[in-house]
Amino acid sequence: MENCLYCQRNETFHHLMLPIAGLEVSSAFLFKEQTYHGRCVVAYKDHNIELYQLNDDQLLSFMKDVQKVANAIQKAFNPAKINLGFYSDKLKHLHAHIVPKYVDGPDYGGVFVMNPQAIYLPDEQYPAMISAIKAGL
């Protein structure tokens, strides 16, 4: 789609996240903003907006991709909990936010903040995080 961040993968997209891997029906990306250490997005490969628009096979495959990335994050970073969010209010493309939460970390026991813009890592730290997640896929 013409104005879809996930379809276009333009400069703004690359400013926000880094590719991790292509999956069965989606792609995984690491958020550069790391208030929630290990936070990722799994974006559906085709331009769909809602889970209910998928047929049963597509839905199962997408949820397996989400599960695979959440499991890889658990192995890589050992959070106390992983929150999942499916929104698309403003960014109309089917994607899942995978947000690790830590007992003494931000918003534990509550709802994660969508875009806190609080913690950005030095560029050289992201490849190690991506490698750790890939190792669990």
- Please state the rounded mean pLDDT for residues 93-103: 96
Would you say residue 78 has pLDDT above 70?
yes
* Rounded Cα distance, 32 and 73, in Å: 15
Average pLDDT, the chain: 93
Contact between 33 and 119 under an 8 Å Cβ cutoff? The reply is yes
For 28-75, write each residue's pLDDT tens digit. Answer: 999 999 999 999 999 999 888 899 999 999 999 999 999 999 999 999
C-alpha distances out from residue 136 to 20, 23, 67, 132, 133, Å: 11, 13, 11, 7, 5
Q: Which of 96, 99, 95 is nearest to 113 (CA)?
A: 99
Supply 77's token pair: 């970073």
Q: Which residue has the higher pLDDT, 74 or 7?
A: 74
Q: Report the predicted TM-score, pTM, of the whole model to 2 decimal places.
A: 0.93
Structural domains of the chain, ranges and CATH numbers in brackets: 5-136 (3.30.428.10)
* Rounded Cα distance, 136 and 20, in Å: 11
Contact between 5 and 119 under an 8 Å Cβ cutoff? The reply is no
User: For residue 1, what pLDDT is reported?
Assistant: 66
What count of residues does the chain have?
A: 137
Would you say residue 135 has pLDDT above 70?
yes
- Please state the rounded mean pLDDT for residues 12-32: 94
CA atoms within 13 A on the CB side of 54: 21
Contact between 73 and 100 under an 8 Å Cβ cutoff? The reply is yes
